[in-house]
Structure 1
Amino acid sequence: MDEAADWLVDSLRLYRDLHAFELPGPTRVLEWTDNQGVFVAGCESQKRNEVLHLLLPPKLCAENQGLCPERDFRMKHGGFSDKPVYNLKHVPDTRLLVTSGPPGNSLQVWQVAEDSDVIKVVSTIAVHGAESSLWPKIAVLTSEVPRVLHGARVSDLHITELESQKTLYMSGGSDSEEEISSLQVLDADTFVFCCASGRLGLVDIRQKLGDSKRTASNPGPGGEQWCAAVRTSGQGPGPTIASLSTSGQLQLIDLRDLDHPVTTVQCSVSMPSPDWELLRVTWAPTLDGYLAISGFGGTVQIYDSTSWERNGSHVEPLFIHKGHLFMDGTENDLLSLITTHAWHPSKPRTLLSAAADASLHVWDWMDPCSSC
């Protein structure tokens, strides 16, 4: 209790803004629509889960915050899913969403109503060869015609046109049955996948199927699971891929050489991740070289990769968000486990984070080195 009280006092100097909310249930997805709206969706089994479009508190969006006493999220649209939502992607410049979750035999395509507050399923895309124990990871490709990239294993990656449900690409002929942990689109024709084993692949769909992949030959150390994130071309120079393991090892990798990490460091985590599917690493959209990681407990850690001096070193976070441990009265470590986090698209040090106890935080952290 003393630790919680100390943190609450410290929070006055640690944050510019800190807001805590409670969702109807835990979520694994935080998907921005713009600078003021975010989609969340429930991930619980054997119940109907809400899919919500929430607007940020006006206080966080106004330039003159003194004129905005309202500090809560507002629901703009909502709907219900009959199965858990483990992945949700908004199709840019449309009112469409794509979701997936167990059982993994289909993707759901949703539409956000223009003249009401309803989000509803408008079509379902069957996933061939799906296994009930796995669910397809998804990413949206930018093009005039909305398309979705999806797959649970390297051998069953597909690109499907949302409206016609026509298959535009499939990874047929691949002998890899490795499970996909994350997918990220680079442009209309290329994407990167990360396997749970740590193996990375770069795919160009314009090439012949047999030559379309460039993969790292050496996966991560045995017994660990990995996820990865690619930073966009506008986020400065340096390594493009950040790959994170369940033990807290973090590798920075250049897209041109997937076999040889540029840097490998050990993050300061107190325990291995208890659920590798909740492992997250994300690049800050507007802070060059900054990363956030979560999935190891009830905290989100911020790192500045530009300050790492040597390969193989143990690195300390620049900032740790501990709010989910102390603000919601949670004494159970599993309930405070972070399920996902996301950087704000344009506010440099503002993040959202969600935990297994259904808490949702929005926080703008102070850079401890800003006054150095």
Structure 2
Amino acid sequence: MDEAADWLVDSLRLYHDLHAFELPGPTRVLEWTDNQGVYVAGCESQKKNEILHLLLPPKLSAENQGLCPERDFRVKHGGFSDKPVYNLKHVPETRLLVTTGPPGNSLQVWQVAEDSDMIKAVSTIAIHEAKSNLWPRIAVLVSKVPKVLHGTRVNDLHVTELESQNTLYMSGESDSEEEISSLQVLDADTFVFCCASGRLGFVDIRQKWGDSGRTTSSPGPGGELWCAAVRTSGLGSGPTIASLSSNGQLQLTDLRDLDHPVSTVQCRVSKPSPDWELLTVTWAPSLDGCLAISGFDGTVQIYDTMSWEKNGSHVEPLFIHKGHLFMDGTENSMHSMVTTHSWHPSKPRTLLSAAVDASLHVWDWIDPCNSC
């Protein structure tokens, strides 16, 4: 209890704002709709899981943070899924959502009602994957006609039009059966994938597979499992892909040269991730060179990549959010395991994070290098 008490005292100087909430169940989804709304979805097996569109408390969303009577999230829309939701994407400029999770034989398409508070299932996109223990990763291609990018393996990547369910692109000519861990769209025609092995790939759907882009010639170090995220702002300036391994190794790679990482460092993690599918790495949208990682324990770590040596160094986090460890009163690291986190779209140092105990935190951290 001493460590928890010390952290609570320290939190007064560590955060501008720190709010803790409780969801109906744990979530792996934190999908922003705008600066004031976020989608969450339950991820538990053998039960109905809620899909909720939450509005931030006025204190967190208002520009003028004066006296605000409401200090909790407000449910704007809600619905129920018969299967766990491991991934959810909102289709920009529409009221459509796409979800996926185990068993991985389909994608679900949802519509957020205009005239009620309901989120309703409208269609299912069948996935032909022989092994049911894998579930497809998804990303949305921004275009006039809503499209979803999805796949479980490199040779099973598809682009599907949501309304007609026509297949517009597929990677069927590839002989690679490596499992996909991350998909991220760059624009209407290009995307980046990361395999669980650590192999990276860049694809342009305007060209045939094989002529369409670049892949790394070899996977990452053996025995480690990987995820990745692309910095979508300033693509022409330096390394843009951050790859995170289950042992806490982090590589920065320039999108133009996938075979030669610009830097490789070891993050400060006490043990390998107990569930590599919870690994999350995200770039800060408004802080140059900052990224956050989670999925190792009950913390979220923030790093400043601008201060790193090129290779081989052990790097220290700029900030560690320990609220999930100490605010539930259990001091059980597995009970407080962080499932996902996300940066606020416009508030530079504000993040959301969720844990397996169904806690949801919103926190605005103070830069220790510029705390005055």
Alpha-carbon distance in 1 for matches of 2:218, 2:139: 25
Q: Which residue of 1 aligns with 2:323?
A: 323
Matched residues in 2 for 1:101 and 1:55: separation? 24
Indicate if the aligned counterparts of 2:233 and 2:285 stay in contact, CA closer than 8 A.
Answer: no
Cα deviations by residue, 1:155-188 (Å, 9 ceiling, x for unpaired) = 1000000000000001011110000000000111
Structure 1: distance between partners of 2:6 and 2:66: 27
Shift of 1:206: 1.1
The answer on whether the counterparts of 2:104 and 2:129 sit within 8 Å (CA) in structure 1 is no
CA distance in 2, matches of 1:260, 1:86: 31
Whether the 8 Å contact between 1:235 and 1:287 is mirrored in structure 2 is: no
Partner SS, residue 369 of structure 2: coil
Q: Which residue number in structure 2 is paired with residue 28 of structure 1?
A: 28
Please state if 1:99 is matched with 2:99: yes
Three-state SS of the structure 1 residue aligned to 2:220 is: coil
- Taking the aligned partners of 2:128 and 2:198, their CA distance within structure 1 comes to 25
Kindly indicate whether the alpha-carbon contact (under 8 Å) linking 1:50 and 1:80 is maintained by their aligned counterparts in 2.
Answer: yes
| One-letter amino acid of the structure 1 residue matched with residue 74 of structure 2 | R
Cα deviation 1:68-103 (Å, max 9, x = unaligned): 132110000000000000000000000000000000
Aligned match of 1:137: 137
Deviations 1:309-367 (A, max 9, x none): 34210000000000000011233221111000000000000000000000000000000
- Give yes or no for contact 2:146–2:163 (8 Å, CA) kept in 1: yes
The amino acid that maps onto 1:291 is L
User: Does the Cα contact within 8 Å between 2:155 and 2:176 map onto a contact in 1?
Assistant: yes
Equivalent pair of 1:103/1:131 in contact (CA under 8 Å): no
User: 2-side partners of 1:280 and 1:223: how far apart?
Assistant: 18
Q: Which residues in structure 2 correspond to 1:193-208 (within 5 Å)?
A: 193-208=193-208
Counterpart of 1:220? 220
Aligned equivalents of 2:244 and 2:190: distance in 1?
22
The aligned residue for residue 268 of structure 1 is 268
Match of 2:298 in 1: 298
* Structure 1: gaps spanning 5 or more residues: none
1:169-215 C-alpha deviation (Å, 9 max, x unpaired):
01011110000000000111110000000000001111122322410
* SS of equivalent to 1:193: strand
TM-score w.r.t. length of structure 2: 0.98
Residues 371 and 236 of structure 1: is their aligned pair in 2 closer, same or farther, counting only changes over 3 Å?
farther
In structure 1, the residue matched to 2:39 is 39
| Residue 61 (str. 1) matches residue 72 (str. 2) | no
Distance 2:129 2:357 in 1: 34
Cα pair 1:236 1:288 within 8 Å, conserved: no
- CA distance in 2 between counterparts of 1:324 and 1:210 reads 44
Distance in structure 1 (CA, Å) of the matches to 2:330 and 2:173: 49
How far, CA to CA, are the matches of 1:52 and 1:130 in structure 2? 31
* Residue 371 of structure 1: how far off its partner (Å): 4.2
SS in 2 for 1:208: coil
TM-superposition CA deviations, 1:35-62 (whole Å, max 9, x none) = 0000000000000000000000111112
Compared CA separation, residues 8 and 235, structure 1 to 2 (3 A)? farther
How far apart, CA to CA, are the structure 2 residues paired with 1:40 and 1:259? 36
Counterparts of residues 54-203 of structure 1 (less than 5 Å): 54-203=54-203
Contact 2:263 2:309 in 1 (8 A): no
Greater mean alpha carbon deviation, residues 302-311 or residues 58-67: 58-67
The count of corresponding residues between Structure 1 and Structure 2 is 372
Structure 1 residues 247-283: Cα deviation after superposition (integer angstroms, max 9, x where no partner) = 0000000011100000100001111100000000000
Distance in structure 2 (CA, Å) of the matches to 1:310 and 1:224? 21
Native 8 Å contact 2:262 2:310 kept in 1: no
Amino acid at match of 2:353: S
Q: Return 352-361 or 200-209, whichever deviates more.
A: 200-209
Superposition deviation, residue 64 in structure 1: 2.8
Offset at 1:129?
A: 2.9
Using the size of structure 1 for normalisation, the TM-score is 0.98
Quote the Cα distance in structure 1 between the aligned partners of 2:316 and 2:109: 41
Greater displacement, 357-366 / 59-68: 59-68
SS of structure 1 residue aligned to 2:292? strand
Q: Give the superposition deviation at 1:66.
A: 2.5
Identity of paired residues, percent? 86
Amino acid in structure 1 at the alignment position of 2:171: S
Secondary structure at the aligned position of 2:8 is classed as helix
- Secondary structure of the residue that 1:53 maps to in structure 2? strand
Q: CA RMSD in A?
A: 1.1
| Alpha-carbon separation, structure 1, partners of 2:90 and 2:106 | 17
1:130–1:36 Cα change, 3 Å:
farther
Hey, what's the Cα distance between the residues in 2 that align with 1:347 and 1:189? 29
Give the counterpart letter for 1:94 in structure 2: T
The DSSP-based 3-state class of the residue aligned with 1:233 is coil
Distance across 1 between alignment mates of 2:88 and 2:68: 31
Determine the C-alpha separation between the residues in 2 that align with 1:149 and 1:94. 17
2:234, 2:54 → 1: CA distance? 28
Structure 2 equivalent of residue 339 of structure 1: 339
CA shift at 1:132, angstroms?
Answer: 1.0
